[in-house]
Amino acid sequence: MGSNSLEINPIAGALGAEIHGLDLADPLDDVTFQQIHQALLDYSVVFFRDQKITPEQQLAFAKHWGDIHFHPHIPGLEGTPEVFEIVKKEDDIHTLGGEWHTDQMFTPTPVRATMLYAKQVPPQGGDTLFANAYLAYETLSDGMKNMLAGLRTVNTYNMKKKRAAAMKVNDINEEASEVEHPLIRTHSETGRKALYLSYKGITTRIAGMTDAESEPILGYLRQHMTRPEFTCRFQWQEGSLGVWDNRCVQHLAVNDYNGYRRVMHRITINGEATS
Ligand code: SIN
């Protein structure tokens, strides 16, 4: 399908757009992909509705963005190990991603983008919230920006994280290592600065400071970053597909559908060292 037929509709003031006019089961030409990628750079998270795709077709779409990242602890699907299933069953209480975060900050080169495809959704609830980390940075005072410039955070993988019991997770034997990232990250394509941190289980402290010194600063930034005016909310339907840019977006899976099953197929794209 040619790029001229794409329709890009913002879904909120801060970030997020729905793209219409594309069947992701079809091969994608470079011109159309570039238009989608530009929409991702402009809106930070983009969504498609009513897609009927196999894991192989989702993978083919994802590969336009780069090499695929394999989650270090969560195994993929048989046949398409690049795709892993996020599943919360009727009797699960916890969900993966139920706190504000950006994906895989516990690695030295966190994933650039995440693609989620809705296979099964509850009759209501199970939305995902997204927050614009550029706006969060840009709306800080000059005094705060100056104070944060040059600070780095310490990040780790939280072994005791509560997640849906239905999720398969490989045994983690090694000690969780600590990884540092800049608290203010410069986006490698747009050049814009964004706040870069996750919830306390991942972003544990500011490098060179104690927990007690770090927490008031990080706590304030977490609260500031997720102000309603910096967010959008996406209501998944079966066949919806979303792609977000982890360099400038935080997200949270809303866990408000106990008693129902939700199944999503996730692919992540390799990232680069942060700066
Ligand atoms: C995630 O954090 O990747 C999960 C998001 C979701 O399931 O809505």
Every domain of the chain and the residues it spans:
3-269
Between 73 and 212, where is the model more confident?
212
With a pLDDT cut of 70, the percent of the chain lying above it is 92
Is 251 designated active site?
A: yes
Poorest-pLDDT segment among 8-17, 89-98, 204-213: 89-98
Q: How confident is the model at residue 161 (pLDDT cuts 50, 70, 90)?
A: low
Is 91 designated active site?
A: no
Q: pLDDT at position 3, please? A: 47
**Which position has the token pair 């394999």?**
70
Residue closest to 241 by CA, chosen among 117, 135, 137: 117
Q: pLDDT at position 172, please? A: 54
Poorest-pLDDT segment among 76-90, 122-136, 161-175, 202-216: 161-175
State yes or no: pLDDT of 174 exceeds 80: no
Q: pLDDT at position 195, please? A: 98
Q: pLDDT at position 71, please? A: 86
pLDDT digits (tens, 9 = 90+) for 229-257: 999 999 999 999 999 999 999 999 999 99
116: which residues sit within 8 A by CB, 6+ positions away?
Answer: 86, 128, 241, 242, 243, 264, 265, 266
Is 205 designated active site?
A: no
Q: Which protein residue has the closest C-alpha to ligand 1 atom 2?
A: 97
What is the CATH T-level fold of the domain 3-269, as seen in this structure? Double-stranded beta-helix (3.60.130)
Q: How many angstroms does the Cα of residue 143 sit away from the middle of ligand 1?
A: 34
Residue to substitute in 237, 256, 266 for testing ligand 1 pocket (most ligand atoms within 8 angstroms of CB): 266
Which atom of ligand 1 lies at the shortest distance from residue 128's CA?
8
Active-site residue, selected from the candidate residues 69, 71, 92, 101: 101
Q: Which protein residue has the closest C-alpha to ligand 1 atom 1?
A: 97
Per-residue buried b or exposed e for 186-207, using 16+ beta carbons within 10 Å of the residue's own CB: ebeeeebbbbbbbbbbbbbbbe
Instruction: Tell me the CA distances in angstroms from 112 to 3, 70, 124, 189, 250, one per residue in order.
Output: 24, 13, 30, 11, 12
Q: pLDDT at position 159, please? A: 56
- Length in residues, the chain: 275
Contact at 8 Å (CB) between 114 and 253? no
Q: How many angstroms does the Cα of residue 87 sit away from the middle of ligand 1?
A: 10
State yes or no: pLDDT of 265 exceeds 80: yes
- What mean pLDDT is predicted for residues 163-168? 58
Mean pLDDT of the chain: 93
Per the structure block, which two tokens stand in for 220? 């304030």
- What mean pLDDT is predicted for residues 179-193? 98
Decide: helix, strand or coil at residue 81. coil
State yes or no: pLDDT of 135 exceeds 80: yes
Q: In this structure, is the dihedral angle defined by the CA atoms of residues 220, 254, 68 and 29, taken in order, positive or negative? A: negative
Q: In this structure, is the dihedral angle defined by the CA atoms of residues 224, 108, 233 and 256, taken in order, positive or negative? A: negative
State yes or no: pLDDT of 176 exceeds 50: yes
Decide: helix, strand or coil at residue 117. strand
Which residues form the pocket of ligand 1, taking CB atoms under 6 Å from any ligand atom?
Answer: 86, 96-97, 114, 116, 128, 251, 253, 264, 266
Contact at 8 Å (CB) between 70 and 81? yes
Is 101 designated active site?
A: yes
Q: Distance from CA of residue 152 to its chain's centroid?
A: 20
Q: pLDDT at position 160, please? A: 56
Beta carbons within 10 angstroms of residue 81's beta carbon? 14
Which atom of ligand 1 lies at the shortest distance from residue 126's CA?
8
Q: How confident is the model at residue 169 (pLDDT cuts 50, 70, 90)?
A: low
Active-site residue, selected from the candidate residues 71, 251, 262, 265: 251
